[in-house]
Structure 1
Amino acid sequence: MNPLLQQVQQGGVIGAGGAGFPTYVKLDCQVELVLANGAECEPLLYKDQVLMQRWARELCGGMLIAMKQVGAHRGVIGIKKKNTDTIACLQEQLPPGIELMLMNDVYPAGDEVELVFQATGKRIPAGGLPKDIGVMVNNVESFINVFRAAQGIPVTDTMVSVHGEVREPYTAWLPIGMSYREAIKLAGGTTCADFIVVEGGPMMGPVTDDLDKPITKVSSGLLVLPRSSRIARIKTRSDEDVRRIGKASCDQCSQCSSMCPRGLLGYPVKPHLAMRSLQVSGSNNLSYALAAQACCECNLCTMWSCPEGLDPSRVCATTKRALRDEQLLQTPAQLQASTTDVHPLREYRGVPTKRLIRRLELTDYAMRKAAFLDDEIRTERVVIPLSQHIGKPAQAIVQVGEQVKKGQMIGQPASDALSVAVHASINGVVVAVGSEIVIEKKPAVLNVSLPI
């Protein structure tokens, strides 16, 4: 492994856009284009805008480092046209070789496949990766972290937007391992009694009511929403209820497939056929179920398209899991063979974000921006998982009772495996070591000799 890749691995850099794929592996290729994803198409999130406005130099520096590593002569930052203040900040810092790609304000503009297609006019092969067509993609925060790792600065904090039913929504660098409870308390607390928390954006983020969960490297948003809200009602249904209701109620109108972003790009995904598979068995069931495999779970079919209020996205997700468990998934070659031409009406079927926000019943929240909180965030206790990324967990290299400093490596990458390091996010004492490392700030004990 060359020195840069080692720095990125040892620095704990992973995809900050949600998946958590180790960045050092992404950088181990040769491509023509490096693409930074700053589209931020999930409503209410503001983290990527803050990053591009305030850390544009580090973003461009990280891209240049990546471009040199992968042999690319062109870098592109994808950003929506509406973000004029961010665009102005970026234009002041753009070096030769890096340009902006201005995008319409539609969902899901930030989907990796959509982004690559707009930048290159090429489609990532079904079941393939961007590097298969000469592109390397990362979230803007990941490129900033690459820049820092090259300077010997590891990942200890992540940029998070806290919004929804809170008194003062904000966006800030939060220490990895800080609890959701503390992060929400920084927003002045909640403004409703019975709520759930969406981890990420309202479209794709899962929900939880466990406020003791820790912020991780892939955290991007904490959205506090009433349990009675449309988003909460949909996301808290059980898989069994989703499939039972879908089987009883789907009338095969095909609106989910007509509006499916991946389907419009020609990929072999048809949510209405996945819904049909709930009603049949045998060989027909398999052929219909296979129409779910290429689903990216953007949730547009559920949150926007379905007139019956059903959940085709979750049906696709559960169907994919069943296919995987039964070893019936198609190979990438089979998926690619089923790919068709881009739909001629694709560009007219993008869903405007403002209309999506209204459909999601988020309009009142969207009136308040989760502005950057420039204060130093302090916490007395962090719980840092050793597994925050795709691949094998890091291996603990500290012991209970050990004094650690912020930025110190506490978990080294697993040897000969896909893995990255983790680091202490505060100064303190290690109080527990397991699948998570718990660090607490403890006052120093003064050894004072009292007079006899």
Structure 2
Amino acid sequence: MDPLLKQVQDGGVIGAGGAGFPTYVKLDCQVDLVLANGAECEPLLYKDQVLMQRWADELFGGMLLAMKQVGASRGVIGIKKKNTDTIAILQATLPESLELFLMEDVYPAGDEVEMVYEVTGKRIPSGGLPKEIGVMVNNIESFVNLFRASKGIPVTETMVTVHGEVVRPYTAWLPVGISYQQAIDLAGGITCDDFVVVEGGPMMGSVTEDLTQPVTKISSGLLVIPRESRIARFKMRSEEDMLRIGKSACDQCSLCTSMCPRGLLGYPIQPHLAMRGLQASGENHLSYTLAAQACSGCNLCTMWACPEGLDPSRVCGITKRDLRDSNQLLSPQQLQAQTVDVHPLREYRGVPTKRLTRRLELSEYALKKAQFIQFDELLQANRQQNRVQPVSITQVRIPLSQHIGKPAAVVVKVGDSVKKGQLIGKADAEALSVSVHASIDGKVTAVNNVVVIERN
């Protein structure tokens, strides 16, 4: 394996969000353009802005390494025009071989397909990858981690925004393996009685009530919201209820399709036909359900477009699952054959983030930015506020699988003493896999699919 790719694999670098695709695989190609996705279009999240403002040199370093590796002549950072403070910081030290691409404040500007089209004027083939049109895309944190891996520094922490119904929203580097409860407690605690937590952004994130879950390399946001909030009601509706309501109430107005970002780009996605599929059977059923395959899961149809309060996005997701289970998915070539021209009104149908934030009932939270704070300062502030029972990070639970592909193979045993950054799970050299490292000093107290480390 190429030396840089090996460093990135051994350093445990993956996409810091989404499914966590291993970065070393993305670097194993030859393309013309390296694109850093700094759009950060999910309301309330602030991690990418922090990274660009405070670790610009490492971002640039990671991008330049990636460009050299893939033979790219052009490096671009996509960022929204509204982030003038971040833009000024980047421009002050921007290398000549890199450039900024300024984007409108709309959702979902941060979608990979949307950003590639905006920057290049080219569409990623339906069902295909950016490299097929000469582009490699990564998020901001992954480029920072790439640079660090080239210096022998593995991934042991992740940048996370904690926001919503908390005393002090913040954005910070958190050790991989601390619990959601600890991360939220560091925000001063929860300010409502009945709540749930959104993992990720309010649009594409999922809801959980299990605060014992560990922060992982792909964690980007923990948003505490009331159980009765609009977001929670949608995301917690049972699959049975959601399908039953959709079947009975959808009037085929087609607004979901009219506003679909992927559909406006010409991809073969029509959420209203997926909804129609709930009422059909036989040959018609398959033709309707196949209209869901190109869905990106951006959730705009559900949280913005549908006037009936239905959930076309989730119907599309379930439909894709069922098509996959029955081996009925179309091939990329078949999908591409159904792709049409970009809609002439696409640029006028972008959804402004401020309006989306109001629709999501998040405007009150958005008034308070989750500013960056050092982890040690978070702990100190918590000790001062909670003198009786302050947060103490005495244990981490680190999963051996935090990414797409094969889990790392554990290389430690119960009773071993480890240091922060020490290898605890080794990547499988013959599979899609990355290594995993200790995030604190301590002793290994349990080993299974998760390595538990307790401070001495």
Instruction: Provide TM-score, normalisation by structure 1.
Output: 0.97
Distance 1:192 1:49 in 2: 28
1:29-178 to structure 2, matched below 5 A, reads: 29-178=29-178
The residue number in structure 1 matching 2:384 is: none
The residue number in structure 2 matching 1:418 is: 432
The residue number in structure 2 matching 1:258 is: 258
Q: Are positions 1:388 and 2:402 aligned together?
A: yes
2:310 maps to a residue whose letter is L
2:46 maps to a residue whose letter is Y
Give the root-mean-square deviation of aligned CA atoms. 0.6
In structure 2, the gaps of 5 or more residues are 380-391
Q: Are positions 1:431 and 2:455 aligned together?
A: no
Note the alpha carbon deviations across 1:61-102, whole angstroms, 9 max, x for none.
000000000000110000000000000111112101100000
Note the alpha carbon deviations across 1:264-284, whole angstroms, 9 max, x for none.
000000000000000010000
Q: Is the 8 A contact 2:17 2:217 kept in 1?
A: no
Deviation at 1:374, TM superposition (A): 2.0
SS of 1:262's equivalent?
helix
1:373-412 to structure 2, matched below 5 A, reads: 373-376=373-376, 379-412=393-426
Q: Is the 8 A contact 1:38 1:77 kept in 2?
A: yes
The residue number in structure 1 matching 2:196 is: 196
Distance 1:242 1:298 in 2: 18
Distance 2:332 2:273 in 1: 20
2:161 maps to a residue whose letter is S
SS of 2:182's equivalent?
helix
Note the alpha carbon deviations across 1:246-299, whole angstroms, 9 max, x for none.
000000000000000000000000000000000010000000000000000000
Distance 2:247 2:301 in 1: 16
Q: Is the 8 A contact 2:174 2:375 kept in 1?
A: no
1:258 maps to a residue whose letter is S
1:186-335 to structure 2, matched below 5 A, reads: 186-335=186-335
Distance 2:138 2:132 in 1: 15
Note the alpha carbon deviations across 1:79-129, whole angstroms, 9 max, x for none.
000000000111112101100000000000000000000110000000000
1:400 maps to a residue whose letter is V
Deviation at 1:414, TM superposition (A): 1.6
Distance 2:239 2:103 in 1: 35
Question: Which of 207-216 and 369-378 deviates more?
Answer: 369-378
Distance 2:27 2:262 in 1: 26
Distance 1:189 1:272 in 2: 41
Distance 1:351 1:196 in 2: 26
1:283 maps to a residue whose letter is E
Deviation at 1:380, TM superposition (A): 1.0
Question: Which of 368-377 and 182-191 deviates more?
Answer: 368-377
Q: Are positions 1:362 and 2:362 aligned together?
A: yes
Q: Is the 8 A contact 2:5 2:27 kept in 1?
A: yes
Deviation at 1:50, TM superposition (A): 0.2
Q: Is the 8 A contact 1:153 1:407 kept in 2?
A: yes
SS of 2:76's equivalent?
strand
1:247 maps to a residue whose letter is K
The residue number in structure 2 matching 1:341 is: 341
Q: Is the 8 A contact 2:173 2:375 kept in 1?
A: no
Distance 2:96 2:31 in 1: 18
SS of 2:49's equivalent?
helix
SS of 1:86's equivalent?
helix
Instruction: Provide TM-score, normalisation by structure 2.
Output: 0.96
Deviation at 1:167, TM superposition (A): 0.4
Q: Is the 8 A contact 1:60 1:93 kept in 2?
A: no
The residue number in structure 1 matching 2:389 is: none
Distance 1:374 1:184 in 2: 15
Deviation at 1:175, TM superposition (A): 0.2
SS of 1:28's equivalent?
coil
SS of 2:25's equivalent?
helix
Deviation at 1:415, TM superposition (A): 3.0
Note the alpha carbon deviations across 1:413-445, whole angstroms, 9 max, x for none.
023000000000000000000000000002xxx
The residue number in structure 2 matching 1:447 is: none
Distance 1:199 1:158 in 2: 14
In structure 1, the gaps of 5 or more residues are 443-452
Which contiguous aligned blocks of 4+ residues in structure 1 show a shift greater than 3 angstroms? Answer: none
